[in-house]
Amino acid sequence: MANKIFIMMIFTAMTVTACKQSGVLSDNPFLQEYNTPFGVPPFEQIKMEHYLPAFEAGIVAQNEEIEAIIHNEESPSFENTIEALEYSGAIVNKVWYVFANAVEIDGTDEMNELSQIMYQKMSQFSDAMMMNQALFQRVKSVYDQRDSLNLNTVQSRLLEETYKSFVRSGANLSAADQTRMKEINERLSQLSLKFENNVRSETNDFMLVIDNKEDLAGLSESFITSMAEEAKGKGLEGKWIVTLDSPSIWPFLQMSSRRDLREKVYTAYLKRGDRDNENDNKQIVSEQTSLRAEKAALLGYPNFAAYILDENMAKTPEAAMNLLQQIWVPALSVAKKELADIKIRMNKDGVEGEPESWDWSYYAEKVRLDKYNLDENMIRPYFQLEDVLQGVFTVANRLYGLEFKPIDSIPLCHPDAVPYEVTEANGEHLGVIYFDFFPRPTKGQGAWMTEYRTQHISAEGEYITPVVSLVLNFTKPSGSEPALLNIDEVSTLFHEFGHGLHGLLSDNRYMSLSGTSVPTDFVELPSQIMENWCMHPEVLKLYAKHYQTGALIPDELVQKIADSRKFNQGFMTTELTAASILDQYYHIRTVQDSAITDVRAFEGNVLSQLGLIRQIPPRYHSTYFKHIFGGGYSARYYSYLWSETLDADAFEAFTEKGIFDQETAASFRKNILEKGGSDEPMTLYKNFRGHEPNIEALLKRRGLL
C-alpha cells in the first residue's frame, strides 16, 4: 500500500527475541505513550538500545492483530479486514518513523551497523505479511465484493490499493516464486543501504586542502571565511578546505579562477562510487538492475519500469519516455547555444581549446554577468536564511492563512533542528514542522521532506496531526556573516516546504492515503509549484532584505533576476532529462538481457545515443545516483519533469487571477493538498485545473520553445 509499512515475520523467532529483551522493554520510549508537547517522539529519551527491542515487540503485536483478522469468524468485510489491517502495526510505525529518519540525519557508524539489521528484518517482515495467503484471501474476498459494498471514494481507494499491494508483492505467486521474491527483496534492501552508505563515505572522504592564498583567486571573502572555518573544524587551522558538500563544491566551481583546482574537485565529485575501492558502487548497480528485472518478471511485467509505472500517473515506460523526448530535443538545442556562449567567454579570458565540464559553472556565471549584470554575490546579501524562511511563511499565510510559531521547549529530532507549531488562521493546531538546515558528516546529502507522524484519524476516531521535517544542506553562517543563500538554495527551501504543506494540510482518514502518499510523478506537484513564488517580483518584495541595512531588494535587482530566470536552462534541463532517461534505460531491461558487466560503458552508450554534449554530465552518474539505487525513485526519476508539467500548467491558474488569489488557493488546497492519495491523481488535478496539463507551459517557462 502506498507508503504504508506492512510488515510481518516468523512468530516464534520474534517472540523469543522479544522475551529475551523484556528487561529493556519496560522503560522503552517507543512502548510508552508519548507524553510530549503535541505528541512528538521523545527524541532525547530514545537510545540506540531501544530501537531493535521495540521493533521486535511491535512485530509480535502486529502479528497478533493479523491473526485476529485471519481468524475472525465473521465473513470478511471492509471494516473487519481492510480497515483492521490499515489500523494495525502502531508500534512498528512508531519505531520505523524515528529510526529511518535517524539513519539519514545522523548516520553514525553505530547507526549504520544497526540499519543493516533493521532493514533486513523490515524486508523479511513485509514480505511475510504481504505473502500471507490466509490474510490475502480475506482481502481478496472483500475486493471481489467491491461493486456491492456501497463504499465511498476514499474507502474504494483504500480497498483497491490494499488489494493491489498484495498482488504486486507476490501474494499470487507459487510457493517457490514467493521464496525467490523474498530473497530478491532482502538482497535489494541490503544493496540499497550499502549504495547509500558508500556515497556518504565517498563524499566525506574527499577534501581539497589549500594552504596557499594565491589558490583562492576568484573566491568571495565570505566563502573564503567559510573554507577557513571548515579547515579549523578539522584541525587544519590556517588552511582552507573544499568538500563535496553542496554549500562547498558549487560556490567553488562557480567562483574559483583556478581551472586545475576546479577540475580536481569536480572530478572527485563525478567519480564517487566509481574508484574501484571498498566504496565502489558499480557491482551494486549491476546486481540491483538484474534483480529488479527478475522481480518484475516474477510478477508478470516485461520489465521493472513497467512494474513501477503501472502505479504512477505515466502508467507505462513509453509514456514517460515520450514526455522526456519532447523535452530533450529543445533542451539540447538550447544547451548547445549556451556552450557556444561559454566557449566565447572562455576564449575571451585567454583560455584556448574546448570548455570542459568543470568550466561550465564558472563561465556560465561570467556570461550571466555579461548579459544581465548579475552574479550570485550581488544577490546573496538579500537572502539571509531567517528572512527567506519568513518569506516562505508569509507565502503560506497569504495563500492558506497559516501561522508559524517557534516552539521553545519540545524534543528535537537533532540538536540542530528548529521546530515550529503550525496553526490555522483561527489558532487551530495543524501540526509541527522541524527544519534541519546545515550539513554535517553524518547527514545525507541533498534536501528532503520527511515525517515523524502522518496525519490520519485513528481507529478510535481521534484526529492525529502530522509531525513534518525538512532536511536541508545550506550554506552555514561564516565569520560575522549569517547564513546567506544562493538562488538554488532559496528555491530548494520553497520546494521542500511545498512537500511540507502537502503533509501538514492533509485531511484524510487513512494514514496510507494521507499527505505525500501519492504516486511519485504526482508528489512533486505541491513542491514544485511552490518554487514559482520564491523569485516572483511581488514575493521578493515581501522577504528579500539586505542582511546589513535591512533595505528591501531594489527594483533594478528584482528586474535582473526576472530577466535571467531562463538563463542556463538548457544546461539544467538537459542534465535532469539525461538522468531521467538513463534511469529508464536501466529499468526497461528484461530478465532475458545479460547482466550489465560494465556500468561505465552502459551509461556512456546511453548518453552517446542521446547525443549529450560531453561538457554536461547527467545530473547524477550511475555510481552516486542515490534516487534510483539508494532511494525510492527507481524508474521514477522522470517524475520531476512530469510533475513540473503539472505545476507549470497549474501555476497559470494563479497567474490568471493573481498569485495570492484566495479562490484559487482554496481550490488547490481542497483538491490537491488535502486529498493525498484518496483518489486518482489525474482526477484530483482536473478537479483543480478543469483540464489535463499541457507540456507547452513547461517549455515556455524554461525558455525552450
Per-residue cell: 637: 526519476
Q: Helices marked H in 71-174 — which ranges? A: 84-86, 90-105, 109-130, 133-144, 153-168
Q: Are 450 and 471 in contact, with CB atoms under 8 Å apart?
A: yes
For residue 236, the SS3 value is coil
Residues near 145 by Cβ (< 8 Å), separated by ≥ 6? none
Sheet with 429-436, strands from edge to edge, namely 403-406, 418-423, 429-436, 467-471, 448-453
Give dist(CA 335, CA 179) in Å, integer. Answer: 49
- In angstroms, the CA 8 to CA 27 distance is 24
- Grid cell at residue 704: 525552450
Active-site residue, selected from the candidate residues 338, 376, 496, 575: 496
453: β partners: 467
Cα angle 346, 348, 352 (rounded to 5 degrees) comes to: 55
* CA–CA distance, 199 with 601 (Å, rounded to integer): 20
Residue 680: active-site member: no
Phi and psi angles of residue 77, each rounded to the nearest 5 degrees, phi first: -135, 170
Alpha carbon distance 573, 203 (integer Å) = 25
Q: C-alpha cell of 116?
A: 543493516
Q: Which residues contact 694 (CB under 8 A, 6 or more apart)?
A: 645, 649
CA distance 281 to 268: 15
CA distance 583 to 292: 13
Run of H or E residues at 293: helix 282-298
Residue 232, class by beta-carbon neighbours within 10 Å (0-12 exposed, 13-18 middle, 19+ buried)?
Answer: middle
Q: What are phi and psi of 451, to 5 degrees?
A: -135, 150
3-state DSSP call for residue 351?
Answer: coil
- Which residue, 183, 366, 289, is CA-closest to 598? 289
Q: Quote the cell numbers at residue 617.
A: 554530465
Tell me the sheet residues that pair with 403. 423
> Which residues are catalytic, by number?
496
